[in-house]
Amino acid sequence: MARTRSGLSPRSGPLLVALVPLGFLAVFFVWPVVAIVRLGFGEGGVLAVLGSADTWQLVAFTVGQAAASTALAVLAGLPVAYLLARTSVPGRGLVRVVILVPFVLPTVVVGLAFRTLLPDGGVLAIVLANSFFNVAVVARTVAGLWSHLDGRAADAARSLGASPLRAFTSVTLPALAPALTSAAAVVFLFCATSFGVVLILGGSRYRTLETEIYLRTVELLDLSGAAALSLVQLVAVVAALSVGALARRRRESALRLRGRASVARRPRGALSWTVVGVALAVVTLLLVPVVVLVARSFDGGLAGYRALAGFGHEESLQVSGWEAAANSLRAATDATVLAVVLGTLASVVLVSLSRGRTRRGVVETMDTVLMLPLGVSAVTVGFGYLVTLDLLPGDLRTSPALVPLAQALVVTPLVIRMLLPVLRSIDTRLRQAAASLGASPWRVWREVDVPVAGRSLLTAVAFGYVVALGEFGATSFLARPDTATLPVAVARLLARPGELNNQMAYAACALLVAVTVAAVAMVESVGRSRVVEF
Amino acid sequence: MALTVSGLTVHYGTVAAVSDVDLAVADGEVLALLGPSGCGKSTLLRAVAGLEPASGRVCWDDVDLAGVPVHRRGFGLVFQDGQLFPHRDVVGNVEFGLRMRGEPRTDRVAELLELVGLTGYERRRVHELSGGEQQRVALARALAPRPRLLLLDEPLSALDRALREQLAMDLARVLETTGSTALVVTHDHDEAFTLADRVAVMRAGRIIQVGEPAEVWRRPVDEDTARFLGCGEVLSATVAGGVARCALGEVRLPWAADGRARLGLRPTALRPADEGVPGEVVHRVHRRDHVRLRVRVDGRLVDAVAGMGDAPPVGAEVRLAMDEDGVALLPA
């Protein structure tokens, strides 16, 4: 009996290619993190730290503020999701841009903006800032599912006597649950590991695990304490990621079951208009911090912008503002190139494996592992680099290459989340049609997958670029004073006294805002992308 | 024989979707694989295309295709829902197979668009096309590189009825004009009989019967096949001198051999007449071009049809006579 071979899925190819992103992950992520964990255990500080009441207070505050921020982001994001998915109100494209900007704004910029709005800072400012970042995640993830939800199920409920609200809570909301859970898990993760805003807004009074790790490492040199806290955080992160992965699995099957996308229409009825009103209010509120920050940057005329040519009040910086900007651009470019290559490879591997007959669990585990860097604190990673990388040849630890490597680690998961859904959405039969017309497996990729996913790749590049540009957690650890990036320079300026430093920081943040808005506008103009859908 | 399939089996886990199938398609012949959904007919087609790992042999002109991947088989494929390349226009889709072979293409594309009735559609985007137009483009795309064998997987099922009948006729014409050798998978016997030179009836992963459409229609090999082909009633009968007799009367079947047999009755097998078995109409509904009756005969309910003009009302006493066209003959 001969075996007829399919010829479409050579098994070993994808697994070999998988070694590249997985290898990168192993050297620049797993190793440093494991080293931190071992360091924590090695010095025997773990038990002491775990037993201390301070630690659990820290955990309670971290979880508490993350939960509050997540709840707020969900409450604010749902009406916006409705607006995006179910209505044809003019200006929806603008809404998509406006909510996306906060997500990619550098954390130092957001921290400074909220400090300007609420000079006393505190818990409220932290929670507001954290949810400000993540409204887009909720709105766009939920809208992604909602716009494909067959509205006839809710119509059926209405015809059976349910009020509009009842139809929503009993039919629509459960159907949206997978997207909602997935988004909430990711948002919780981002809020729990949020670094820049807590550092700027919390000062020394309000500390989370993330900022505490940083403080213990940098200021107290308490490595074992930092390692122990990293360990606690790691456990929490893996738990949240697993919840997210489970939800994503349900969401993808929900998407597969979808009917034809329902037609968006003008809102009808009091409930619908109320929701739209709330959504527009949310969008307006999202604009406030950004506008205030940019306005503030012109307070002293152009003084702040002129000061960028210098080094700040009493030489607060070792590089000029413009040099820091140039450092940022260089590092972000390298990081983006690296992340796009790695992310593309990983997506191709994941989609090839799931198209073949590889066990589903294997693919999902790999997917989750590749998402890990998104959740594990950038500070932990940066700290891990300091501990491990001098063992590598080429004195990497003091090399300027370290910053883009760390940034790439943060950006790669985002690239994967943007490419993978598009590649997965390509009907296998479309590829089979190409094969039956004579296209070899490679040719099928070139003729079908690449053109279909091409736009998403472009958006991934632009999006990855701004995220790298604004990365603060790991960069603040790794950039040396003479290779400081703009966000790092801003944080340093804010930590030093002097009105000139303040003006300079505002001007630098306004520049970062400008770059971010431009990139987001480009992402959106390329087409309706599925950016930030988790 | 151009295509020969022998001992083909496809497993999904422990379930055999296709088991031990033998099949042959001659050069220029159109064979329909007919069966209810889930019978394994599409899986068989996919195995022939090389898309499904299978055991057994698939040969073309006696050459085993075991090691030949999909893209080197030269078999055209048309799916139920077109699967046109969304990023290419009509020409881009039709010329795809020619490009893969590095052939010049303009004349051939125009020729095919004319064949499927879409001249002038060259630069249309595929998502602007109607379902029927998309299927025409898919057909043109599959035919463009002159495939050795055309594989059609429920090519008309996604269309509404009027369009389906029109396209079935067009498809039959195209297959004939191009002299294509083809394997068509369908669950619709009208479609199978319209398109195919021979029909293979499939059930539960096995081929039950192969024959010319009229032959399969008249002589299903067993009761399940008869019921799948529309016989609502199966009765035992005796045939003598070209006349079959059963509980509901007698009918002339000049082609039937003498002896014991069973008759499969489609609704059109019984019609109101002056003579025949007596019964009472208990239900009637209007169909497209006839009236369907439910008649109680001897305490049993049977289907019958009447013309639009002379259909008896509910409660009427009628006599039913048998009509040769609605009768199938089964082995005893």
Give B-chain residues touching A4 at CB under 8 angstroms. 47, 50, 52-56, 58, 65-66
Query: Between the CA atoms of A350, A352, A356 and A361, what dihedral angle is there, to the nearest 10 degrees?
Result: 0
- pLDDT, average across residues A3-29: 67
All residues of chain B having their beta carbon less than 8 Å from the beta carbon of residue A3 are 53-55, 66
Give ipTM to 2 decimals.
Answer: 0.79
Give the DSSP letter of residue B79. -
Beta carbons of B85 and A430 less than 8 Å apart: yes
Q: What is the DSSP letter of B319?
A: E
B47 closest CB neighbour out of A2, A4, A443: A4
* Whole-number pLDDT of residue A80: 93
Q: And the tokens for B140?
A: 């043109």
Our CA-based measurement puts residue A187 at a distance from the nearest CA of chain B, in whole angstroms, of: 34
Whether B58 has its CB under 8 Å from any CB of chain A: the answer is yes
Classified as helix, coil or strand, B251 is strand
Tell me if residue A469 falls in helix, strand or coil.
helix
Give the pLDDT confidence of A455-477 residue by residue, as tens digits.
Answer: 788 888 888 888 898 888 888 87
B70–A7 CB contact, under 8 Å: yes
Rounded to an integer, what distance in angstroms lies between the CA atom of residue B97 and that of residue B72? 12
- Pairwise CB contact (< 8 Å): A427 & B101: no
HEC assignment per residue over A267-318:
CCHHHHHHHHHHHHHHHHHHHHHHHHHHHHHCCCCCHHHHHCCCCCCCCCCC
In the predicted model, what is the mean pLDDT of residues A404-425?
A: 85
Tabulate helix, strand, coil % of chain B (nearest 5). 25, 40, 35
Q: Which of A203-217, A234-248, A496-510 has the lowest mean pLDDT?
A: A234-248
Angle, helix A360-375 to helix A223-256, in steps of 10 degrees: 130
Asked whether A59 and A234 are in contact (CB, 8 A), the reply is no
Q: Does the predicted model carry a pTM greater than 0.90?
A: no
Q: Please provide the size of chain B in residues.
A: 332
Distance from CA of B186 to the nearest CA of A (A): 18
Check CB contact under 8 Å for B56 and A1.
yes
Residue of A nearest to B13 (CA): A357
Residues of A within 8 A of B47 (CB-CB) are 4
Is the CB of residue A40 less than 8 Å from the CB of residue A220?
no
- Give the integer Cα–Cα distance in Å for A24 and A6: 32
Would the CB atoms of A439 and B71 count as touching at under 8 Å? yes
The whole-angstrom distance between residue A417's C-alpha and the CA centroid of its chain comes to: 10
Per CB-CB distance under 8 Å, the chain B contacts of A456 are none
Establish if B68 touches chain A: CB-CB under 8 angstroms.
yes
Tell me the average pLDDT across A65-76.
Answer: 94
pLDDT of residue A264: 62
- Indicate if the pLDDT at residue A43 is higher than 80: no
Parallel, antiparallel, or unpaired: how do β-strands B54-60 and B3-12 relate? Answer: antiparallel
The upper half-sphere exposure of residue B8, i.e. CA atoms within 13 Å in the direction of its Cβ, equals 33
Identify which of B197, B184, B178 has the alpha carbon closest to the alpha carbon of residue B140. Answer: B178
Distances (CA, A) of A441 to A12, A178, A339, A436: 14, 34, 25, 11
Q: Does B53 touch chain A (CB under 8 A)?
A: yes
For chain A, report the end-to-end CA distance as a whole number of angstroms.
46
DSSP string, A418-432: HHHHHHHHS-HHHHH
The three-point CA angle A43-A216-A320 to 5° equals 135
pLDDT (tens digit, 9 = 90+) per residue, B18-55? Answer: 999 999 999 999 999 999 988 999 999 999 998 888 99
For residue A3, pLDDT over 60 is answered with no
Question: Could you tell me how many helices (H) and strands (E) chain B has, helices first?
Answer: 10, 20
CA distance A427 to chain B (A): 8
In the block, tokens 């050795």 appear at B148
Query: Which one is predicted more confidently, A22 or A395?
Result: A22
- The predicted structure's pLDDT at residue B10: 93
CA angle A163, A168, A169 (to 5 degrees): 100
The closest of A186, A78, A74, A69 to A129, measured between CA atoms, is A69
Of A429, A430, A435, the CB nearest to B71: A435
Q: What span, in angstroms and rounded, lies between the C-alpha atoms of A303 and A110?
A: 21
In angstroms, rounded to a whole number, what is the distance separating the alpha carbons of residues A137 and A142?
8
Question: What per-residue confidence (pLDDT) applies to A357?
Answer: 67
